[in-house]
Amino acid sequence: MKTPSSYPAWLFACLACASLSAQNPPSKPPANPTALPSAPAQATTVAPGAPIAKEELTPEQKAAMKEVERMRAEKSRIDAELALAEAKRTEELAPLNSETAKLQAERALRLAKAAAEAAALEDERAKLERQAALEAARSGARLSERNNKIRELEAEAKQLQLESANTVSRLSNEISRFQKEEEARKIATKAKPIYLKEPLVNGTLIISDRRIALNGAVTEQLADYVCQRINFYNNQSAEFPIFIVVDNSPGGSVASGYLIQKAMAASKAPVYVVVKGFAASMTAVIATLAERSFCYPNTMILHHQASNNLRGNMTMLKEQVEFTTKWFERLATPVAKKMGLSLDDFVKQMYANDSTGDWQAFGDKAKELKWIDQVVERIEETAILDLLPVAQVPPPAMPVPVKPPQTEVSGVVAKVDDKGRPYFELPSLSNPFDAWWVYDPQGLYRVR
């Protein structure tokens, strides 16, 4: 259905013109345009809307009138359709208007309820604030009371602390006095190291604090330790002897032992070796070739051929054997010469005295063999002026081997293998031309 707005504007203009023409039709033109107008005729009045005689309208007017009539009918039809559409729209909007009114009523109800709830909440909030203020006042009073109590307790604690401090100070002074007395009992204040150019006095060897301990396997670290101290004591004084004291040493690196020998030979002060317990292999060579050496009658000295842990193919094994042989010849030949033997005779006697080639002898016999220069019955350590702490013995359940002397110096580490057997791990040889010369029948020393 077309609405009036869908028609063009010219159509409405035509309708307006037609309506005006119908109401005021134009007057008939004069037959002679050049003639002067006559007296006005009697005007004919036509009522609006009255039909006009067809003979009085031109064809164009008739067509326009016909179009006007058609448009009037179309307008009437459109007005009817618009009225019908308006009625339908009103009918369709009626439920929506009703729903809208319902929703507005519900919204107004909810707003009213919300306002009532807000008022109730406001009252509750005011009530809670009053209660909180009251509780805060009560809490403040309790807190003030507790603070007063705390201050009282703090005052009592300070008094107790003062009394305790006085007691602790008194006890600390007593403990300090007891400790000082105990430490004083551990220090030999009445004795001082004895320095003698000739340390052997009436069969007693007097050792001063110019003392270097050589214990455990001879390693690069131990050689550095010994050589540094030989140099230090020389720089301190070259007048009195230096003592290298061996409690127990199975030997070790031939290159490290050679460095110790050369440091001893280069020393301005005499360097004496004292073997108290056991010296074998490289350590026995050091003791035998020292300027002077001392030991107890029951000290054990052991010489044997150098050995090595050989690995590789046949050619490599042969080269390692040849190289180890050269080391042995260079270090053992001076020992054989001191004994008055050739190197071959020295080796033959090793196996003649023991089938393993490990030729061991007590101190008195070692003197006869010229392995040791002098046997003494007593050794006096004049540099031991304070008591050492007692060593902690591990529980029997712990399979930890006895720590070798000077472990921190020599670099040897005490360990336990997967089968629970204790052993000492030797550091790797840093010198590619080095070899181990160690007496180890129990297999306690293993190379890292």
The per-residue pLDDT for range 211-266, each reduced to its tens digit, is 999 999 999 999 999 999 999 999 999 999 999 999 999 999 899 999 999 999 99
CA–CA dist 359, 215 (Å, integer)? 21
- In this prediction, residue 33 carries a pLDDT of 43
- In this prediction, residue 61 carries a pLDDT of 87
Q: What DSSP assignment string belongs to 89-157?
A: HHHHHHHHHHHHHHHHHHHHHHHHHHHHHHHHHHHHHHHHHHHHHHHHHHHHHHHHHHHHHHHHHHHHH
- How many Cα atoms within 13 Å fall on the side-chain side of residue 248? 7
Query: 3-state class of 277 per DSSP?
Result: strand
CA–CA dist 337, 326 (Å, integer)? 16
Domain range annotation of the chain? 200-447
Q: Residue 447 — φ and ψ, nearest 5°?
A: -85, 135
Buried b (16+ CB within 10 A) or exposed e, 195-228: eeeebeeeeebbbbebbbbbbbbbbbbbbebbbe
Mean pLDDT by 10 residues, the chain (448 residues): 48 51 48 43 47 68 89 92 90 88 90 90 90 88 87 86 82 74 57 90 94 93 95 94 96 92 96 96 95 96 80 71 83 93 94 92 96 96 67 38 53 81 79 73 77
Q: Which among 195, 180, 142 has a CA at the least distance from the CA of 383?
A: 195
Q: What DSSP assignment string belongs to 310-337?
A: --S-HHHHHHHHHHHHHHHHHHHHHHHH
- How many Cα atoms within 13 Å fall on the side-chain side of residue 407? 12
- Largest separation between any pair of C-alpha atoms in the chain: 193
- In this prediction, residue 285 carries a pLDDT of 96
- In this prediction, residue 140 carries a pLDDT of 87
Query: 3-state class of 359 per DSSP?
Result: strand
Residue 365, Cβ density class (10 Å: 0-12 exposed, 13-18 middle, ≥19 buried): middle
CA–CA dist 284, 246 (Å, integer)? 10
Which CATH number applies to 200-447? 3.90.226.10
CA–CA dist 130, 172 (Å, integer)? 60
- In this prediction, residue 318 carries a pLDDT of 77
Tens of pLDDT, residue by residue over 119-164, are 999 988 899 998 889 888 888 888 888 888 898 888 888 888 888 8
- In this prediction, residue 138 carries a pLDDT of 87
Residue 298, Cβ density class (10 Å: 0-12 exposed, 13-18 middle, ≥19 buried): exposed
- CA distances to 171, 177, 186, 192, 251 from 183, in Å: 18, 10, 5, 17, 37
